[in-house]
Amino acid sequence: MKLIFYNVSEEERPFIQKWSFVNQIPVQMVAEGISSENIALVKGCDGICLYPSVEMRQNETIYKRLSDYGIRQLSIKSTGVDGVNFDWATKYKLTVTNVPGYSPTSVGHFAIMSIMLLLRNVPTLTHESTQRKTAIGRELQDVTVGVLGTGRIGCVVAEGIHALGGHVLASSSRQNPQLNGIARYVSFEELVKQSDVLSIHIPLNDRSLYQFSEEVFAMMKPNACLVNTARGKIIDTNAMVAWLASGKAGGVALDAIENEEKYFNDDWKKNPFYTQLSQFPNVFLTPHIAFHTELAVKEITETALNNAKEILQKGESMNKISV
Q: Which strands make up the sheet holding 224-228, listed edge to edge?
A: 183-185, 167-171, 144-148, 197-200, 224-228, 249-254, 283-285
130 has a pLDDT exceeding 60: no
In which residue ranges of the chain is CATH 3.40.50.720 found?
3-101+294-314, 104-285
Amino acid at 130: T
44 has a pLDDT exceeding 80: yes
Lowest mean per-residue pLDDT among 177-181, 232-236, 262-266, 284-288:
262-266
CB atoms within 10 A of CB 158: 28
Burial 69-102 (b: 16+ CB within 10 A, else e): bebbbbbbbbbbbbbbbeebbeebebbbbbbeeb
The Cα–Cα gap between 318 and 23 comes to: 19
Q: Is 249 exposed, middle or buried (0-12, 13-18, 19+ CB in 10 A)?
A: buried
31 has a pLDDT exceeding 60: yes
Mean pLDDT of 217-229: 97
Per-residue pLDDT reduced to its tens digit, 102-115: 888 999 999 999 99
CA 110 to chain centre: 12
**Which residues, 6 or more positions from 42, have their beta carbon under 8 angstroms from its beta carbon?**
4, 48, 65, 66, 69, 71
CATH superfamily to which 3-101+294-314 belongs: NAD(P)-binding Rossmann-like Domain (3.40.50.720)
Give the CATH fold of the 104-285 domain. Rossmann fold (3.40.50)
Mean pLDDT of 77-100: 92
Residue 7 contacts residue 77 (beta carbons within 8 Å): yes
Q: Which strands make up the sheet holding 95-97, listed edge to edge?
A: 27-29, 3-5, 47-50, 73-76, 95-97
**Which residues, 6 or more positions from 61, have their beta carbon under 8 angstroms from its beta carbon?**
36
Mean pLDDT of 63-67: 97
Mean pLDDT of 7-15: 95
The Cα–Cα gap between 66 and 87 comes to: 15
Alpha-helical (H) ranges within 256-323 are: 272-277, 294-314
Q: What is the dihedral of CA 97, 296, 278, 217, to 10 degrees?
A: 60
Pick from 152, 153, 149, 156: nearest CA to 170: 149
pLDDT score for 133: 66
The Cα–Cα gap between 197 and 227 comes to: 8
Residue 140 CA neighbour count, 13 Å, CB half = 19
Which has more pLDDT, 196 or 52? Answer: 196
pLDDT score for 264: 77
Mean pLDDT of 69-97: 93
